[in-house]
Chain A
Amino acid sequence: MATTAPGAGTRHVPAPDLTEPLLRKLYRSAEGRWLGGVARGLAGHLGVPASWVRILFFALLMADGFGILLYALFWFVVPLGVGGVDAERHGLIGTAPGPDGRRRLFARKPDKGQVIALIALIIGVGIFVESIHIGRVADSYIWPLLLMAAGVALVWRQADNARRAQWAEFSRSKRVLPVARMAAGVLLVCVGVTGIVVIQGSAEHLGAVLQATLAVIVGLALLVGPYLVRMMQDLSAERLMRIRAQERAEVAAHVHDSVLHTLTLIQRNADDAREVARLARAQERELRAWLYKPEGTGKDEEEAPDTLAEAVRRTVAEVEDHHGVPIEVVVVGDCPLDERLGAQLQAAREAMVNAAKYGGDGGPVQVYAEVEGRTVFVSVRDRGPGFDLDAVPDDRMGVRESIIGRMQRNGGTARLRSAPGGGTEVELEMERAAST
């Protein structure tokens, strides 16, 4: 029994096709909804604020419960819209951006709106029940009916959630809660039905009826059970295959876009060893980033880095690409970037550029960055010919201003060690900003 309910929910998707010619593309809204998303969906469809629709429903609720009926009908018939209709829905929402934007933010927070909606609903139903006196017989049916309605609502709401989860691919949600909800819903419906049976006065047959029902259910389970299990297995197997195929396609696309492209460029530039090396290194770096970093962070390189390690690697990559000299980078520890470290990075970049320009022929440039407590240390080292700092004319500002001066202005220190023939090493040390 329990498993068929969401099945019925999903199977129901094509059903609104019947109503679609009448209500062209009406969808319930999955975002910013309080109950079933009917009011929001309608609001979006009609281009009016959602609160109007809600108030209307509430008012109709007072009119002999018509509101509830209508709402339930919409909930039942109209599919939940995300995914494919998203653009369209956004277009409609665009007509009333003020309240909508706010509502959406509101709804993202843990279901505050839903609690309010529930309280309002309970009050409304209470008033409604108080206000109708159809007669003693009908009166006594109301509570069982309400119980059933609550049960159905519970299960249906869940089916909605499940479907939304499918769209958003949250397949790994907790299992216990949905099952509990489902059980509660089923229980409510059963109690409601039993209540009606009892009221009808056929209580004396209840035992026999229950027995017969049980027999039918068990029989059905025996017949349909294996088939259902098989179907579920097939379904999950198929889903797995699809995911795999998708992944493979993505890898293929990536390799096609970047790697094959680079290989072609390398073939074309086969004579230019430097260019080939540059291309290969850039490609290697990109592929590494794509392979080893979680969740495809390889692509969005446009964002500014916010930690030191990332920033150092980015800087190294840029200099490497620009000057075609291999740079080996080792980073120990990490910390968030601040203004001073930004200055240090600038100085380090300058040092790297110098190393690449003047010392790049002696082998790879070595960059080492370490965060130790509050101190950040960066060293840039090349194995080039080296130079004598004192012999550099005063008007050459590169080293003095960009490296030493910049570090001193920002409260750090820079040391330069260079011997003719022995390579050059620049050591930059900076305290992190006080506020953490």
Chain B
Amino acid sequence: MTENGPTAAGEPLAGPAGDEAGADRRVRVVLVDDHRMFRTGVQAEIGDTGRTGVEVVGEADDVDQAVSVISATRPEVVLLDVHLPGGGGVEVLRRCAPLLGDPENPVRFLALSVSDAAEDVIGVIRGGARGYVTKNITGVDLIDAIFRVRDGDAVFSPRLAGFVLDAFASTDAPPIDEDLDRLTQREREVLRLIARGYSYKEIAKQLFISVKTVESHVSAVLRKLQLSNRHELTRWATARRLV
């Protein structure tokens, strides 16, 4: 999901973070994951603040600790594991709900998961996370995703786009709230292209729209996903679990 396609392996981390170089591009991040080794790995990959602009201000390995660390440090972005002892990422989101909606400096969550289960991921997104990436993401892409989330954009990995399409497609019954619950044709197209592995830039080119428009479509999908309270979505998730 890099903007510039295949990342040139020679230039270390010369991603989008590098372009606007350095000091004014800073983001404060908290890592929430119950595997210390994984936290260490992520820290090693993105934690070099001078180079990446990412400053890891706290770590937590369960729900209680996460809530206290997040409210103490007030980071801009939380990298949140879906599976956590003490209730999972959804529980963290629930208990941090006031921080999420803070108009001054909101805390934004980016779900980071190794899970294959759609209902896990959709659950976290519906709980208020701004995006979802898988754990095999590269460092450059992760940094890019962190900044995008910080800037208020939604980050959909191809897999998440697939899950969302699935969730909205399998509801044949007319939704309760038409305006809110249906994805527009354009939104579906955008999602489909994300699922096919296109970057925002490529999507924009393909659909003859601007990157900004792509972003707004993606944000609209995210909003619908988070706000839609129709039971079809829940039913879908339950049906999935049974399959």
Contact = CB atoms under 8 A, between A and B. Distances in A.
Contacts of A423: 5
A362 B5 contact: yes
B116 A330 contact: no
Interface in B49-105: none
A200 to B, nearest CB: 60
B159 A330 contact: yes
B196 A332 contact: no
Interface of B: 5-7, 116-117, 158-159, 161-162, 165-166, 169-170, 192, 195-197
Contact of A368 (B7, B169, B170, B197): B197
B169 A332 contact: yes
A381 B192 CA distance: 13
A428 to B, nearest CB: 12
Interface string A9-50: 000000000000000000000000000000000000000000
B196 A366 contact: yes
A420 B196 CA distance: 20
A383 B196 CA distance: 12
Contacts of B195: 330, 332, 368, 370
Given A368-B158, A381-B196, 15 more contacts: A288-B116, A292-B116, A330-B195, A332-B162, A332-B169, A332-B195, A333-B169, A333-B170, A362-B6, A363-B7, A366-B158, A370-B165, A370-B192, A383-B6, A422-B5
Contacts of B197: 328, 364, 366, 368, 381
Nearest to B5: A383
A362 B99 CA distance: 40
B6 A330 contact: no
A331 interface: yes
Contacts of B161: 330
Contacts of B166: 332-333
Q: Ordered nearest first, which 5 A-B pairs have the shortest CB separation?
A: A366-B197, A330-B162, A362-B6, A368-B196, A332-B165
Contacts of B116: 288, 292
Nearest to B117: A292
B5 A331 contact: no
A379 interface: yes
B21 to A, nearest CB: 25
Nearest to A328: B158
A425 B206 CA distance: 13
Contacts of A362: 5-6
A288 B165 CA distance: 23
Among A331, A332, A361, A372: residue with most chain B CB under 10 A: A332
Among A328, A330, A366, A370: residue with most chain B CB under 10 A: A330
Interface in A274-326: 288, 292
Contacts of A383: 5-6
B132 to A, nearest CB: 13
B6 to A, nearest CB: 4
B159 to A, nearest CB: 6
Interface string A339-370: 00000000000000000000001111010101
B136 to A, nearest CB: 8
B97 to A, nearest CB: 29
Contacts of A372: 169
B224 to A, nearest CB: 17
12 contacts: A328-B159, A330-B162, A330-B195, A331-B162, A361-B6, A362-B5, A364-B197, A368-B195, A368-B197, A370-B195, A379-B196, A383-B6
A331 B161 CA distance: 10
A370 B196 CA distance: 10
Contacts of B165: 332, 370
Among B159, B166, B197: residue with most chain A CB under 10 A: B197
B6 A368 contact: no
Contacts of B5: 362-363, 383, 422-423
A156 B6 CA distance: 73
Contacts of A379: 196
